[in-house]
């Protein structure tokens, strides 16, 4: 409860400010809970001018950032140990993506004077883990995860549905990104379904991704841009199959085996990066391959889906779920056509089926 002009005001009617304010004739330079009224004071915290220095440390807990998310290390801890552990235990069959993304992010955060924003493009068949990776990154970098005010998601078919509105989309993107970067230089922008975004739309990002950008009132060099696309997924599966036929094991493949293939594919295939200035001017720092998943990886996804529902699956439950997964290309059929996509729903239905079967026997 705070006193204001003779009346008691509950904290719900207060708002926070970091500005110095006049309070009963004494100037204070600390963050206070200030009322929406002309005269206010906090009787429990009288701070005279001469006592400011000694009182600041004790009053630190009252700062604005104790109550509201700020663009500071407190809210952007960038926990790379957490990210590494999460990728080791929850992302299957993606040693190249794990290594590339972890090193790229650590390097970007440790650089005290980056020359450009970090831009990564994730490529792979549906269900190979691109969205999982993006979510793991957000959870490790930001205290509030996907709920952070500094995390911004764009989805191709949702935010850019019409080919005829490219100019409008570009204008909105430019204005929104500028506004978000003015609030926090460490913002992250994630574009999903890039292959569904109208061609040319993403050219507006070039000034934000360029080296030593000259933009008024903002500095985008500490920001992160991530693009998710199915583009190149089929070509990558064919190339991985060729490497396998040549005797190269999956975990022996390197980024060099796929990166140029993905860059060329993204530039030439229809979608947001088709003939894009973003690619042509070499502003994507890392093309990250998400390899097609094999049966051993899909089985781990199935087990996870059941465990998430409090069930330790029997081999029969796993095999029944696996019947819903198709593999290709012919004749070897090594890779899941849809990765681990839709397995959650299948596991949920099969759990109910086996539960009903047990109950009927009672």
In the chain, domain spans: 2-66, 80-290, 295-361
Give SS3 for 225. strand
Q: Report whether pLDDT(277) > 70.
A: no
The structure tokens listed for 315 are 């081999």
By DSSP bridging, strand 286-290 and strand 2-4 are unpaired
Label residue 35 by pLDDT band (50, 70, 90). very low
CA nearest to 213, candidates 225, 221, 203: 221
C-alpha triplet 206, 148, 100: angle, nearest 5°: 55
Average pLDDT, the chain: 84
Please tell me the distance from the alpha carbon of residue 79 to that of residue 89, in angstroms, as a whole number. Answer: 16
**Which of 138-142, 242-246, 269-273, 297-301 is predicted least confidently?**
269-273
Q: What is the pLDDT of residues 91-118, one digit of tens each?
A: 999 999 999 999 999 999 999 999 999 9
**H/E element holding 99?**
helix 95-110
Closest by CA position to 83, among listed 65, 108, 66: 108
Q: Are 299 and 321 in contact (CB under 8 A)?
A: no
Question: Contact 26/49 with Cβ under 8 angstroms?
Answer: yes
CA distance 56 to 62: 10
- Domain 80-290 carries which CATH code? 3.40.50.300
Q: How far is CA 335 from the centre of its chain?
A: 26
- 268: pLDDT confidence band, cut at 50, 70 and 90? low
| Res 25 pLDDT > 90 | no
First-last CA distance in the chain: 60
Report CA-CA distances (Å) from 11 to 44, 55, 112.
14, 22, 40
The tens digit of pLDDT for each residue in 114-141 reads 999 999 999 999 999 999 999 999 999 9
């Amino acid at each position: 409860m705070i006193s204001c002009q003779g009346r008691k005001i509950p904290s719900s009617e207060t708002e926070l400010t970091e500005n110095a304010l006049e309070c009963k004739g004494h100037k204070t330079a600390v963050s206070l809970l200030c009322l929406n009224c002309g005269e206010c004071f906090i009787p429990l915290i009288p701070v005279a001018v001469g006592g400011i220095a000694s009182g600041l440390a004790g009053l630190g807990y009252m700062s604005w950032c104790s109550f509201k998310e700020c663009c500071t290390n407190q809210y952007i801890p960038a926990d790379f140990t957490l990210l590494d552990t999460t990728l080791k235990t929850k992302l299957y069959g993606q040693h190249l993506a794990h290594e590339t993304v972890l090193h790229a992010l650590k390097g970007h955060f440790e650089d005290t004077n980056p020359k450009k924003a970090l831009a990564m493009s994730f490529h792979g068949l549906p269900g190979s883990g691109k969205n999982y990776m993006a979510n793991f990154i957000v959870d490790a970098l930001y205290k509030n995860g996907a709920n952070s005010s500094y995390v911004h998601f764009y989805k191709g078919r949702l935010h850019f549905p019409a080919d005829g509105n490219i100019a409008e989309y570009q204008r909105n993107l430019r204005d929104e990104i500028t506004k978000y970067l003015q609030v926090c230089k460490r913002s992250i922008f994630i574009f999903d379904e890039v292959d569904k975004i109208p061609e040319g739309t993403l050219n507006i990002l070039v000034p934000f991704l360029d080296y030593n950008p000259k933009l008024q009132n903002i500095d985008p060099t500490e920001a992160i841009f991530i693009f998710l696309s199915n583009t190149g997924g089929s070509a990558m599966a064919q190339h991985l199959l060729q490497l396998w036929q040549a005797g190269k094991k999956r975990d022996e493949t390197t980024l060099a085996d796929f990166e140029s293939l993905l860059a060329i594919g993204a530039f030439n295939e229809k979608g947001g990066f088709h003939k894009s200035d973003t690619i042509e001017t070499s502003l994507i720092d890392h093309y990250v391959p998400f390899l097609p998943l094999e049966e051993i990886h899909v089985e781990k996804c199935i087990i996870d889906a059941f465990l998430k529902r409090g069930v330790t699956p029997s081999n029969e439950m796993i095999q029944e779920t696996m019947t819903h997964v198709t593999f290709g290309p012919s004749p070897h059929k090594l890779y899941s056509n849809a990765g681990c996509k839709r397995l959650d729903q299948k596991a949920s239905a099969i759990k109910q089926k086996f539960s009903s079967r047990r109950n009927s026997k009672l």
